[in-house]
C-alpha cells in the first residue's frame, strides 16, 4: 500500500503492532516458551488492515442485495472490495484460522485475533472458525470435506456463521422456535427468525440450532445443524430478511434469517446439540475477549503516541503527572486482562478435544472463559473511554480512529452473552460441575512456582478463596443477586495470579511489578505508592519495555 494520508489521522497507523507490543510477547513466551512469529501479521494489522477497517466503518457499509438482474432471489451482502481482499489475506496468507486444525495450536489463533482487533472483521473470522470447529469435531465425512475452504487452504474460500439467537429468547437458547424434522431421510429446518445473524449474506455455511421432535422443550431439545447456502438442487436454502444498522462492528453484515424447508446436515448426536452449542460459544467468548483486548490496545497506542506530540501548558502531555497516571492505569488494566485471557486460552488448549460428557479440565476452562469474557469487556470500555478523554475534543470526532475504538468496545460486553449470562453460567459451572475445586488446585500449583511476589500472590489467593467461601454461604437467590460481584472478584484476583505466574517464568521482573500495581488497584482498592519516573516509563512505554528474546 503506498503512503497514505491516513497517517495524518492516526498515531498508531503504520507501526508494526506485534513487534512494538513487548508485554504481549512476554505473556505469550511465558506460556509457550517461545514467541510465535507474528511480525508479518503485526505489520498488516498496523497499516493495511487498520486503514481498511476505518474506511469500511465510514464509507463501506455492507448492503443487502436481494434480487439479481435476472429476477432471482440471491440475498447476498455487497462488501467493500478492500475488506474482502483483507479477509482473503488473513485467511490464506495470515493463516488465522488454520493453526487449531493443522497444528492443534489455539494460542497463535487467539493472538492473531488480538492483533486484528477490529470486531467486525474479527467476527467474520470467528464465526467462520466456529463453523470449522464444529465440523472438525462433530461433522461426518461429507462435512469434513468443507473444512479446507473454511481455514484458507482451498479455493474458493467459504465463510461460516453461527445462528443461534432468536428474537423471543436472546441469550435464552431454550426459547428457540426454529424447528428441525427428519423427512424422507433428510433433515429439514423451518422457522423465522434467527434475529442476530452475523455473516448474513456472506456465509456459505451456517451452524443453526433447531428444536427437534414434537416434544422437544428447553435447551436440551435443541440439535446443532450445518446449513449450506444452497440445497442439493442449487436452490437458496435460507432467506435474509434484512441487514441491521449498528453503531459499530460495521465490517460484519448482521441480519435476520428465516428458513422454509431448508436442507441441513446434523452434527454429532442430535440429543447433544445444546452441549455442542455451548462448547462452540466458548470459542467465541475467548475470541470476544481477544477483540476487547485488541481494541483496548489500539486505543492505548493512539493515546500513548498522541500524548508524546500534543503540548499543553508548556509541556508535552506525557510529561504531566496526571496524564502519566492515566496511562499507567490503562496499561495495568490491559496487561492484567491479557494475562487472565491467555490463562483461559491455556485451559481451553488443554481440554478442547474433550466431548460430552466433559471432564474437570473442560469445566475449569469454562469457568475461566466466563470470567475472562466479563473482565476484558469491562476493561475495554474503560480503556477506550479514557483514551478518548486524553485526546480532548478530538477524541469525539468521527474523522479520527480513537472515537471508533470506543464505539467498537461497547459491543464486547453484549456479544456472546452479557455479564448477567456470564455470571449465571459461572454459578452453574461451580454448583453443578465443581469447577471451583480445579481452580483452587491450579492456584496451589501456580503458587508452588512463585519466587518473586509471594505476598501479592498470597493476597490474590486469599481473595479467590474468600469469594468462593462467600458464594458457598449464599442462598440461590443471593448467589444470583451478587453473581457479578463474585465474577469480578475472581477475575481480578486470578489476573494477579496470571501476571505473577508469567513474571516468574521470565528473566525480567516487569510483569511482577505490574501484578503488584494491579493488586493495589483492583484487590486492595488503595492508592499506589508513588512509582519512580523510571518505573512509570517501564510500564507505560510498551515499545520500550524489556525485550524478550528474538522472535522464534
User: Per-residue pLDDT tens for 394-434?
Assistant: 999 999 999 999 999 999 999 999 999 999 999 999 999 99
CB 470 within 8 A of CB 417: no
pTM for the whole structure: 0.97
Question: Alpha-carbon distance 38 to 17, whole Å?
Answer: 9
* Other CB atoms within 10 A of residue 1 CB: 11
> Domain spanning 162-271 has what CATH number?
2.40.110.20
What's the pLDDT score for residue 545?
Answer: 77
What's the pLDDT score for residue 476?
Answer: 97
- Of the candidates 129, 96, 117, 98, the one whose C-alpha atom is nearest the C-alpha of residue 21 is 117
For 98, 112, 150, 271, the CA distances from 277, given in Å and listed in that order, are 21, 24, 19, 12
Mean pLDDT estimate for the chain: 96
Q: Is the pLDDT of residue 297 over 90?
A: yes
Q: Is the pLDDT of residue 3 over 90?
A: no
CB 112 within 8 A of CB 38: yes
Burial of 66: CB neighbours in 10 Å, binned 0-12, 13-18, 19+: middle
Q: Is the pLDDT of residue 233 over 50?
A: yes
Question: Alpha-carbon distance 149 to 166, whole Å?
Answer: 28
What's the pLDDT score for residue 547?
Answer: 66
Mean pLDDT of all residues in 465-485: 98
**Do the two domains 162-271 and 275-540 of this chain adopt the same fold?**
no
What's the pLDDT score for residue 2?
Answer: 61
184-198, 208-222, 380-394, range with the lowest pLDDT: 208-222
Question: Alpha-carbon distance 221 to 179, whole Å?
Answer: 10
* Per-residue pLDDT tens digits for 373-402: 999 999 999 999 999 999 999 999 999 999
Give the SS3 label for residue 13: coil
In this structure, which topology does domain 275-540 adopt according to CATH? Butyryl-CoA Dehydrogenase, subunit A; domain 3 (1.20.140)
What's the pLDDT score for residue 159?
Answer: 98
- Of the candidates 249, 368, 415, 391, the one whose C-alpha atom is nearest the C-alpha of residue 309 is 391
Residue 224 makes CB contacts below 8 A (sequence gap 6+) with 134, 138, 207, 208, 209, 266, 267, 268, 273, 276, 277, 280
What's the pLDDT score for residue 530?
Answer: 87
Q: Is the pLDDT of residue 508 over 90?
A: yes
Question: Alpha-carbon distance 283 to 268, whole Å?
Answer: 18
- Of the candidates 506, 353, 487, the one whose C-alpha atom is nearest the C-alpha of residue 429 is 487
Q: Is the pLDDT of residue 188 over 80?
A: yes
Angle formed by the axes of helices 483-504 and 510-519, nearest 10°: 160
* Per-residue pLDDT tens digits for 16-30: 999 999 999 999 999
Q: Can you state the percent helix, strand and coil of the chain, rounding each to 5?
A: 55, 15, 30
Q: What proportion of the chain, given as a percentage, has pLDDT over 90?
A: 95
What confidence category does residue 442 fall into, taking pLDDT thresholds of 50, 70 and 90? very high
Question: Alpha-carbon distance 312 to 29, whole Å?
Answer: 39
The residue extents of the domains of the chain are: 7-150, 162-271, 275-540
* Per-residue pLDDT tens digits for 56-108: 999 999 999 999 999 999 999 999 999 999 999 999 999 999 999 999 999 99
What's the pLDDT score for residue 546?
Answer: 75
Question: Alpha-carbon distance 480 to 474, whole Å?
Answer: 9
* Other CB atoms within 10 A of residue 310 CB: 16
DSSP letters of 66-116? EE-TTS-EEEEEE--HHHHHHHHIIIIIS-TTTHHHHT--HHHHHHHHHHH
Question: Alpha-carbon distance 113 to 126, whole Å?
Answer: 9
What's the pLDDT score for residue 215?
Answer: 64
Instruction: Output the nine-digit C-alpha cell for 248.
Output: 459499530
Amino acid at each position: 500500500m503506498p503512503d497514505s494520508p491516513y497517517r495524518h489521522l492516526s498515531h498508531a497507523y503504520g507501526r508494526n503492532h506485534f513487534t512494538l507490543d513487548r508485554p504481549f510477547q512476554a505473556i505469550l513466551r511465558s506460556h509457550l516458551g517461545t514467541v510465535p512469529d507474528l511480525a508479518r501479521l503485526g505489520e498488516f494489522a498496523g497499516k493495511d488492515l487498520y486503514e481498511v477497517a476505518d474506511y469500511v466503518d465510514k464509507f463501506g457499509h455492507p448492503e443487502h442485495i436481494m434480487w439479481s438482474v435476472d429476477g432471482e432471489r440471491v440475498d447476498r451482502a455487497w462488501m467493500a472490495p478492500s475488506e474482502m481482499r483483507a479477509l482473503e489475506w488473513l485467511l490464506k496468507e495470515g493463516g488465522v484460522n488454520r493453526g487449531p486444525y493443522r497444528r492443534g495450536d489455539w494460542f497463535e489463533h487467539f493472538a492473531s485475533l488480538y492483533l486484528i482487533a477490529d470486531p467486525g472483521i474479527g467476527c467474520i473470522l470467528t464465526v467462520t472458525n466456529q463453523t470449522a470447529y464444529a465440523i472438525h469435531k462433530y461433522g461426518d465425512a461429507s462435512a469434513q470435506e468443507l473444512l479446507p475452504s473454511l481455514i484458507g487452504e482451498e479455493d474458493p474460500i467459504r465463510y461460516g456463521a453461527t445462528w443461534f439467537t432468536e428474537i423471543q429468547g436472546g441469550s435464552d437458547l431454550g426459547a428457540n422456535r426454529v424447528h428441525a424434522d427428519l423427512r424422507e431421510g433428510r433433515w429439514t429446518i423451518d422457522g423465522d427468525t434467527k434475529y442476530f445473524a452475523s455473516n448474513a449474506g456472506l456465509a456459505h455455511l451456517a451452524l443453526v440450532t433447531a428444536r427437534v421432535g414434537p416434544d422437544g422443550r428447553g435447551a436440551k431439545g435443541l440439535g446443532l445443524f450445518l446449513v449450506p447456502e444452497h440445497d442439493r438442487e442449487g436452490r437458496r436454502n435460507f432467506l435474509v430478511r434484512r441487514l441491521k444498522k449498528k453503531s459499530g462492528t460495521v465490517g460484519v453484515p448482521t441480519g435476520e434469517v428465516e428458513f422454509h424447508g431448508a436442507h441441513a446436515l446434523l452434527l454429532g448426536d442430535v440429543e447433544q446439540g445444546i452441549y455442542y452449542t455451548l462448547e462452540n460459544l466458548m470459542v467465541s467468548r475467548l475470541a470476544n475477549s481477544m477483540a476487547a483486548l485488541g481494541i483496548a490496545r489500539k486505543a492505548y497506542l493512539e493515546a500513548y503516541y498522541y500524548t508524546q506530540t500534543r503540548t499543553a501548558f508548556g509541556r508535552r502531555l506525557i510529561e504531566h503527572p496526571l496524564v502519566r497516571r492515566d496511562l499507567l492505569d490503562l496499561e495495568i488494566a490491559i496487561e492484567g486482562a491479557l494475562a487472565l485471557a491467555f490463562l483461559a486460552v491455556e485451559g481451553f488448549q488443554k481440554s478442547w478435544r474433550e466431548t460430552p460428557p466433559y471432564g474437570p479440565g473442560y469445566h475449569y476452562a469454562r469457568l475461566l472463559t466466563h470470567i475472562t469474557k466479563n473482565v476484558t469487556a469491562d476493561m475495554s470500555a474503560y480503556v477506550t473511554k479514557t483514551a478518548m478523554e486524553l485526546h480532548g475534543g478530538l477524541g469525539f470526532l468521527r474523522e479520527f480512529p480513537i472515537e471508533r475504538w470506543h464505539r467498537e468496545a461497547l459491543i464486547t460486553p453484549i456479544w456472546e452473552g452479557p455479564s448477567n449470562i456470564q455470571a449465571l453460567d459461572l454459578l452453574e459451572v461451580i454448583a453443578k460441575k465443581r469447577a471451583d475445586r480445579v481452580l483452587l488446585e491450579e492456584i496451589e500449583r501456580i503458587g508452588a512456582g512463585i519466587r518473586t511476589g509471594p505476598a501479592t500472590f498470597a493476597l490474590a489467593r486469599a481473595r479467590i478463596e474468600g469469594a468462593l467461601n462467600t458464594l458457598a454461604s449464599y442462598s440461590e437467590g443471593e448467589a444470583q443477586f451478587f453473581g457479578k460481584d463474585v465474577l469480578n472478584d475472581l477475575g481480578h484476583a486470578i489476573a494477579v495470579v496470571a501476571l505473577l505466574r508469567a513474571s516468574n517464568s521470565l528473566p525480567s521482573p516487569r510483569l511482577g511489578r505490574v501484578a503488584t500495581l494491579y493488586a493495589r488497584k483492583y484487590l486492595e482498592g488503595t492508592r499506589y505508592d508513588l512509582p519512580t519516573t523510571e518505573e512509570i516509563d517501564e510500564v507505560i512505554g510498551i515499545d520500550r519495555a524489556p525485550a524478550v528474546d528474538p522472535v522464534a
